[in-house]
Amino acid sequence: MKNLKNSIFAVLVGAVSVLVVVGCSHDSEPGRLNDQGASFGLRPLKSDELLTDFDTLVSNVNAYYGPREYKEKRFGYSIAELAKGFREKVSAASSEAEALGYFYQFLAKLDDGHVSLRVAETSGGVLSHSLGLFLTPVAGRALVGDIVDKELVTSPQVEIGDEVLSIDGVKPFDLLPIITKYAWIANPISAQHLIMRAMIRPFYMTEIAPKSPTAKVELQKANGQKYALDLTWKEKKIPLLAEPVIAAGHDFSVPFATELNQMTSNNISQMGQTNPFFLNEKTQAKYGFIKVKPSAQILAAAGVAETEVPDIYAATYTFGGKKILLIRQATYAPEDFEPSLYLAAYFAILKEYESKVDVLVIDQTHNPGGDGSYCTNFFGLLNDVNKEAPVQMCRADRKWMDDLSSSEGVTDPESLAVGISMAKEIEKAYDAGDWLSSPLPIFVGTENVQGGGAWNKPILVLIDELAGSCGDVFPMLIRDNKRAKLFGQRTMGLGGNVEPVVTLPFSQAKLNLTRGLFMTHRSDGVYDESNFVENNGVQPDYPYSHTVEDFRGGFVGFIEQFSNKAVEQIAP
């Protein structure tokens, strides 16, 4: 693969971190602290311990939070005043759970889907209570997206797509304003997916804690038939799954994806799954997707052995008399992550089928992000000339300077020199007392993405409200470089890299913070709030909102709509 890497990916500066997954499965080994906190007899945290943890959290937000000035200006709040108010509530809290809930409420006020706090253990050993159903929002209604615990939900009446009307007499969406006090994904469209918390309630959302062992759940089928179930609240004591670990500065992933994927096994709901969420028996029967892969000859030319090809979904189908190649970009940090191998495999797929189809559809929905350099170079495959690259205004602090100037794991002198150069730019802002640096090319080390020339025909890119971080970066590059049209829903709007900054001393909760604000490089050097992805996301050229009928029908209509738009890209 040396020739391919030298010709196409020379701009990939530095070693792109290999993804390391360090999480536990749902069936964790017995005997570990996270499996039996209550049996160890952990006492509740004392008030002074909780206040120390809260003060530690606030001090780290004050030191490391990149978008701080931007957020305070845009939303009109003062982080200092927010912290003061919530500290008083922590001090007056009547329980550990209530106090930690105020930690979450403080962070939710930042209006930032990258900010997260992960509590792995509580004095009670219970992390959440579940009724066994996973809810998903469709057109303002709460539908059953998955039956996650068949021991709790034994009734054969319950089917995917049934609507949940109420839980103990309360409509699910009436609970959402309470839920979003404690958690915020990124924007109001994305935040609707927190409706899942109506039936899977974390310990710190004390305002909606179960008040009895069971709950009466009212549901309605597509034909209007209503029925009711008495479901039991089940305590969940499993540890939270760990997030991907990506090198400092490169991590553009969605913390919420780990939480969501832990709750459901259903491909429709999960983020980062290999197959498109709309791939099922109904759509397969309707459109006849034919899975494809590159020939041995093309793979060999790309430097990839047939036994090395990673698990990438690619298929062709015919629509309106035209042939479409559909490829899935599921995540920018797959579990078996080897950037050069994935890029070479995508290159081979595109080169194999460019002459055999009329248009390319890239499915980047439900994408939880990942490695910024890999994402940028994936975009580079679609170009035959250099294009504007993403840049980021980084928090002007010594942490960034240390990360960028570190030689650990970097064997290329040129890459190290680029990192040191960017560290010096941050140092200038630091010495000047600026909160953020000038825009820096932390993604690939250059203000342009080198063209790979793998595809020169029309392209349509599918996006949605469950695509964030790198899931924002890729459509941003598509839009700002005018490379293709975007179809679907506004992306999350997670506009900076994310890093772990501290483990709180008593609760041992881990805090992740956004460390800057990214946008596409502008040759005129003028940047304003409209250029930021943070809280804005990327809007589609062709908006599409799923309907209840489409959800229940297996997304056949969704495919018809985007296929129509894909075919429209073809010149007469």
Task: List CB contacts of 524: < 8 A, sequence separation 6 or more.
Answer: none
Helix/strand/coil for 101: helix
- How far apart are alpha carbons 110 and 514 in whole angstroms? 11
Pair of tokens at residue 478: 């598509």
Domain ranges of the chain: 2-18+246-522+529-568, 128-236
Q: Which residues contact 468 (CB under 8 A, 6 or more apart)?
A: 113, 185, 186, 190, 254, 256, 367, 368, 369, 491, 492, 493, 494
> Nearest to residue 488, comparing CAs of 121, 140, 190?
190
How many angstroms separate the CA atoms of 102 and 287, rounded?
49
CA 457 to chain centre: 29
Cα–Cα distance, 562 to 560 (Å, whole number): 6
Choose the weakest-confidence range: 29-43, 409-423, 443-457, 533-547: 29-43
Quote the strand ranges of 403-509, DSSP E: 436-440, 448-449, 459-463, 485-488, 498-503
Secondary structure (3-state) at 463: strand
Written as one letter, the residue type at 186 is A
Q: Residue 510: pLDDT band by 50, 70, 90 thresholds? A: very high
pLDDT band of 239, cuts 50, 70, 90:
low
Which residue, 544, 494, 482, is CA-closest to 519? 494
Q: What is the pLDDT of residue 120?
A: 82
Task: Provide the pLDDT confidence category of residue 568 given band limits of 50, 70 and 90.
Answer: very high
Provide the terminal-to-terminal Cα distance of the chain, rounded to the nearest Å: 38
pLDDT for position 365: 98
- Considering just the CA atoms, what is the radius of gyration of the chain in Å? 24
Residue 433 has what pLDDT?
97
Decide the pairing of beta strands 448-449 and 322-328: unpaired
pLDDT over 80 at 243, yes or no: no
Question: How far is Cα 443 from Cα 372, in angstroms, rounded to an integer?
Answer: 5
Closest CA to 80 of 62, 60, 92: 62
- DSSP for 281-334, written as a single string: HHHHHHH--EE----HHHHHHHT--GGG-----EEEEEETTEEEEEEE---BS-
Express each pLDDT in 370-404 by its tens digit. 999 999 999 999 987 889 999 999 999 999 999 99
Share of the chain above pLDDT 70, in %: 91
- Chain Cα centroid distance, residue 21: 16
3-state secondary structure (DSSP) of residue 417: helix
- With a cut of 90, say whether residue 27 has pLDDT above it: no
Burial of 291 (0-12, 13-18, 19+ CB in 10 A): exposed
CA–CA distance, 493 with 496 (Å, rounded to integer):
9
Q: Minimal CA–CA distance to 497: which of 66, 20, 15, 183?
A: 66
pLDDT averaged over every residue in the chain: 90
The two three-digit tokens of residue 445, written as one number: 């080390």
Residue 301: pLDDT band with limits 50, 70, 90: very high
Least confidently predicted of 328-332, 427-431, 567-571: 567-571
d(CA 8, CA 359) in angstroms, rounded, equals 23
Alpha-carbon distances, residue 137 vs 31, 148, 510, 568 (angstroms): 38, 16, 29, 30
Residue pair 499/193 in contact by the 8 Å Cβ criterion: no
Residues in the chain, how many? Answer: 572
Q: Give start and end residues of each alpha helix (H) in 170-280.
A: 172-182, 188-191, 255-263
H helix or E strand, kind and range, residue 160: none
| Range 2-18+246-522+529-568 classified under CATH 3.90.79.10 | no
Spell out where 14-127 has E strands: 116-118
- CA–CA distance, 348 with 324 (Å, rounded to integer): 17
Angle at 254 between CA 249 and CA 256, to 5 degrees: 140
Placement of tokens 């490829």 in the chain: 327
Whether 5 shows a pLDDT value over 50: the answer reads no
Neighbours of 61 (CB within 10 A): 21
What pLDDT sits at residue 409?
Answer: 63
Predicted confidence (pLDDT) at residue 256 exceeds the cutoff of 70: yes
> Which CATH class, in words, describes the domain spanning 128-236?
mainly beta
pLDDT of residue 160: 96
Q: Which residues contact 377 (CB under 8 A, 6 or more apart)?
A: 8, 9, 11, 12, 339, 343, 444, 449, 452
For residue 572, the model assigns a pLDDT of 83
Burial level of 539, CB count in 10 A (0-12/13-18/19+)?
A: middle
Q: What is the pLDDT of residue 238?
A: 61
Helix H or strand E encompassing 556 = helix 556-568
DSSP annotation of 450 reads P
The whole-model pTM stands at: 0.91
Which residues fall within 8 angstroms of residue 188, CB to CB, at 6 or more apart? none
User: Which of 190, 287, 325 minimizes the C-alpha distance to 554?
Assistant: 287
Position 98 scores a pLDDT of: 97
